Structure 1
């Protein structure tokens, strides 16, 4: 029997579909660089971009699938982004901690997430205290929490010792927490707080027959593993660590060109 139901496409945002100026990787002569569209402004300044061609592909993909932005950003940070096309009917924020339905928080989902975290890992306060005690003011720029779900640091990467990252990951592992480094940010996230769980809920609600996924960081690994097929760019934590899976395509493109290639590939799969 041929499966019915829509195709679901769940994609990470930062450094997967959208890119800051520092992450664009425009390694071509200036006159040959692609035209860019700004999709996020922060404090009156442009912050995130995609190529104009990617901007044209996004509405087409949204019209032919259930396109679900799937991000570690908080809800406030996500709402700064203005992607081309109609508003997404579903969006996943805070690494799966919040599910937005037509732009509104699904509080039942959030309560279920909190209950799962209470049963499975050490409290946020303990992890945050450890981060504060072990961080060095020489490289620590900011210390923050996100939606009272996880913690992150903004750091000077040029001064951040790799041994500190390894020590933090080893300390966090038995407490049920994971560590991820993305650009200037070091994340400490509860292991049960996953994008894949929230995507599975969207698939259940929409009756999706298959799921495609894209992401670049270790926090996207569970999302990619749970998908039927997907892509990772040639940059980011997954590429740097050589992470692979049989059903995930490792793209050679890096920077904003990788975002365009992901949309191309997703549209090809949707058409097939």
Structure 2
């Protein structure tokens, strides 16, 4: 048998593009200024997200907008983001395929419906951790009420079906610093394992810029993307992706190719090697 040489084929099979959103495809004005992104003059900016009041919050540079438009036309674009179901609604970009949300705890299908099998799997893994997540929530809620505290604490909660009933479960805990003191969050992350018994057995901590997340080991973009690749995506189609944070790297490594923007946590990590 002779191996054939490549021949161009006009029938294009779109690859999958699995994409992180914040700081990969768009970012706030503060980060645009800090990273000195090209083609980000005011007349070139494109609004990508709004805040809770409906005001523009994050923007794409002209280059990012061109890149995103190419992705829409040339790939099946799959969102892979830490944003939850309410936060993704504030992203004003057109998505029409699978969406991996809330660090991987939620998978929506092409019609925007919750993926039932994944729902049940996550319910079974999150339910036993609710008492510990409530303990942590109470600790941070009490701390946040301290007038001197600069920490802004948010529990992320969603509804999960265990095959019989829907139940609201806490997925993970997010903490920001009011003054955007990244080092303060790094120091807090070091103290977290001392707060409750077997912390590191049940949870991991991710810190990126002004975001600290306390997550159950069951909640990870990697797990959700692996589930999609094994059960729902066509194995004959190629895949690639982009992400900016260390938390993105495990899911990116499942793909055929991956890349990072020339700014952000992963870029800084690779640049320091």
TM-score (norm 2): 0.74
* Greater Rg over alpha carbons, structure: 2
- CA shift, 1:33, in A, is 7.3
Residues 144-155 of structure 1 correspond to what in structure 2 (within 5 A)?
A: 144-147=154-157, 148-155=170-177
Maintained 8 Å contact 2:77/2:95: no
Q: Which ranges of structure 2 fall in alignment gaps of 5 or more residues?
A: 5-11, 158-169
Q: Secondary structure at the match of 2:232?
A: helix
Residues 60-75 of structure 1 correspond to what in structure 2 (within 5 A)?
A: 60-75=70-85
Distance 1:132 1:231, change over 3 A: same
Q: Secondary structure at the match of 1:219?
A: coil
Q: Which structure has more RCO (C-alpha within 8 Å, separation ≥ 6)?
A: 1
RMSD of equivalent CA atoms:
3.4
Q: Secondary structure at the match of 2:222?
A: helix
Maintained 8 Å contact 1:39/1:50: yes
Residues 123-162 of structure 1 correspond to what in structure 2 (within 5 A)?
A: 123-132=132-141, 138-147=148-157, 148-155=170-177, 156-158=179-181, 160=184, 162=186
Maintained 8 Å contact 2:81/2:102: yes
CA distance in 2, matches of 1:13, 1:75: 14
Residues 34-53 of structure 1 correspond to what in structure 2 (within 5 A)?
A: 35-42=44-51, 43-53=53-63
For 1:200, the equivalent position in structure 2 comes to 226
Total equivalences in the alignment: 241
Maintained 8 Å contact 2:143/2:149: no
Distance 1:137 1:182, change over 3 A: farther
TM-score (norm 1): 0.74
CA distance in 2, matches of 1:210, 1:30: 30
